[in-house]
Amino acid sequence: MNDIPGIAITRRGALVSGAAAAAAGVVPLASEAQALPAEQPAATMPVTLTVNGKPRTMDIDPRVTLLDALREHLQLTGSKKGCDHGQCGACTVIVEGKRINSCLTLAVMHDGDSVTTIEGLGRPGDLHPMQAAFVRHDGYQCGYCTPGQIVSSVAMLDEIKEGIPSYVSADLNASAAVTGQEIRERMSGNICRCAAYSNIVAAIADVAGAKDVA
Ligand code: FES
Ligand code: FES
């Protein structure tokens, strides 16, 4: 028993009275006890991108990724969110001619940039040659990774044409005929959980005119 002048408190008494107060719902919750400031609306910034050849301006929270800006603000949902961590390539888009993972970059960092998404490559009845090759070779199963695979492969073949060496294997000769090995190396950032890899490589090799796809 703790004796405070004028008040006698036992441990049991404190527990019983605390439980009774809680049961009666008179114990204030932490959230009620502290007055929280009113939620402030997020500050936004104007961002203009040229998306698939058309200027698009958005007022967005500067923390919004390019992927979310495309999907949530411009309703271009062809680019997929697989991992949101730069590990799967499902979100690949072409920015200023280079393929990037749009989940790893903020939209505000690309103000004024030109962006190409899967929607900008082709459309039903007028497919991009790479899209048509994926159809011909069954380069997909569930299709979730497919937009990223196609956008990435289009930019990847441009990298080869420009003589940009593979960042994976420096010994691959970018100026030599494209091989299946080189396609696999250069497309290694695009994961397919259905493992449709052999057909994906066949589709890309078809467009690249590659003979050795083993
Ligand atoms: Fe961007 Fe996976 S969603 S890399
Ligand atoms: Fe299903 Fe690639 S086709 S993840």
User: Mind listing the pLDDT tens digit for each residue in 81-99?
Assistant: 999 999 999 999 999 999 9
Model confidence at 54: pLDDT above 90: yes
Residue pair 130/204 in contact by the 8 Å Cβ criterion: yes
For a mutational test of ligand 2's pocket, the pick from 81, 135, 138, 194, i.e. the residue with the most ligand atoms closer than 8 A to its C-beta, is 194
Can you tell me the mean pLDDT for 178-187? Answer: 93
Domain count, the chain: 2
Last residue of a domain, one of 99, 120, 141: 120
Model confidence at 63: pLDDT above 60: yes
Which amino acid is present at 112?
A: G
Last residue of a domain, one of 89, 105, 120: 120
Regarding whether 139 and 101 lie in a shared domain, the answer is: no
Q: Rounded to an integer, what distance in angstroms lies between the CA atom of residue 48 and that of residue 56? A: 6
For a mutational test of ligand 1's pocket, the pick from 71, 83, 152, i.e. the residue with the most ligand atoms closer than 8 A to its C-beta, is 83
| Full domain range(s) for residue 87 | 43-120
Regarding whether 207 and 182 lie in a shared domain, the answer is: yes
Looking at the domain assignment, is residue 145 inside a domain?
Answer: yes
- Enter the DSSP assignment of 176: S
Taking the CA of residue 83 as reference, the ligand 1 atom at the shortest distance is: 2
Residue 40's pLDDT is what? 75
Residue pair 115/121 in contact by the 8 Å Cβ criterion: no
CA-nearest residue for atom 4, ligand 1, is 86
Can you tell me the mean pLDDT for 184-189? Answer: 96
Regarding whether 168 and 214 lie in a shared domain, the answer is: yes
**End-to-end alpha-carbon separation of the chain, Å?**
83
Q: Among 4-13, 32-41, 62-71, 152-161, which is the least confidently predicted range?
A: 4-13
Return mean pLDDT, the chain: 86
CATH number of the domain bearing residue 49: 3.10.20.30
Residues 6+ apart with CB under 8 A from 44: 59, 60, 61, 62
